[in-house]
Amino acid sequence: MNYLELLEKAVTEIRIAVSLSTILPVGPTEPLDDGSVARASWALPVAGLLVGLAGAVAYAIAHRFGLPPEPAAMLALAATILVTGALHEDGLADSADGLGGGKMRDERLDIMRDSRIGTYGACALMSSIMLRWSALQAIAEPWAVAAALLVAHAAARASLPAFMWLVPPARPDGLSAGAGQPPPQSALIALCVGILCLAIGFGPGKAILGLLVLSIVALIWAFIATRQVGGQTGDILGALEQTGEIVVLLMAASLS
């Protein structure tokens, strides 16, 4: 395979990752073959950069028109939620409802599949939005907010392929099972992209701390998912992304 073919393959896989992570109509028009989504998972942090960029632009526009950090931060969050179609927020809410409200494995999975939101889900969603909003408004300075959003959305998605590779699907159908198990090289590339973003955004020393905290978060979610429902689901992946995003933004706020 020559360089041109490799570039074309990489662009196609980035389009797949962006179409999975956002509402942007950039996915390939031809049908995807088995395993193409899993192979494209390395590009999830690249898709995260686009989501973070949407939030950064919204914050910059709000700041340019004289809005204080509080409403500007909310507009930035709204932009990221809009461009993703609230995909990961939905996963967090469903995971909280299922894990918090279900008594048995099958009951938890059924609750997670229910489109209605319960008390646990509402509380988790509210906590996620408030924590991210408070972090962004504490950072305040537009360039620092932009860097935090870009790093948070990229790094939070960088662990998803490795998580899917290590933790088996909890059921034979659904978004995660349909995507398949990412190959090790895709998981490794995604992790490298995430680490690079952390290093650029926070510096090498703080990047190691961020990587350690994100790894602990992923291990905790792996333990919870395996123990409570027997593996991971698309909702669990969404909850992992949200938790990682919160961690990175809070870290950025503390450094600011």
Percent above pLDDT 90 for the chain: 67
Cβ atoms of residues 153 and 52 within 8 Å = yes
Domain count, the chain: 1
Average pLDDT over residues 198-212: 90
pTM for the model: 0.93
31 pLDDT above the threshold of 60: no
> In the predicted model, what is the mean pLDDT of the chain?
91
pLDDT of the residue at 94: 94
Q: Quick one: pLDDT band at residue 174, thresholds 50, 70, 90?
A: low
* Alpha helices by DSSP H, the chain: 3-21, 36-39, 44-64, 69-84, 87-101, 105-113, 119-139, 142-158, 160-166, 175-179, 184-202, 204-229, 234-255
CA–CA dist 213, 41 (Å, integer): 22
Tokens found for residue 63: 């700041």
**Domain membership flag for residue 238:** yes
Does residue 26 belong to any structural domain of this protein? no
Domain-embedded: residue 209: yes
Residue 162 has what pLDDT?
93
In a domain, 21, yes or no: no
Cα–Cα separations (whole angstroms), residue 139 to 123, 146, 199, 216, 246? 24, 10, 18, 24, 14
Residue 33's pLDDT is what? 64
Checking if the pLDDT of 83 tops 80, the result is yes
Tell me, what's the pLDDT at 177?
66
Which of 37 and 157 is assigned the larger pLDDT?
Answer: 157
φ, ψ of residue 141 to 5 degrees: the values are -65, 125
Instruction: Give a yes or no: residue 16 inside a domain.
Output: no
Range of the domain at 198: 46-255
How many whole angstroms separate alpha carbon 86 and alpha carbon 199?
28
For the residues 46-62, what does the mean pLDDT come to? Answer: 97
Biggest distance spanned by C-alpha atoms of the chain = 54
- Confidence (pLDDT) at 70: 96
Q: How confident is the model at residue 29 (pLDDT cuts 50, 70, 90)?
A: low
For the cut 60, the answer to whether the pLDDT of residue 56 exceeds it is yes
Q: Is residue 29 part of a domain?
A: no
* Chain position carrying tokens 């948070």: 152
pLDDT for 109-134, tens place per residue?
888 888 888 899 999 999 999 999 99
Q: Dig out the tokens for 126 from the structure.
A: 């509210």
Asked if residue 114 lies in contact with residue 97, where contact means CB atoms within 8 angstroms, the answer is yes
- Whether 14 is in a domain gets the answer no
Q: Quick check: 179 pLDDT over 90?
A: no
Given this model, what pLDDT does residue 173 score? 74
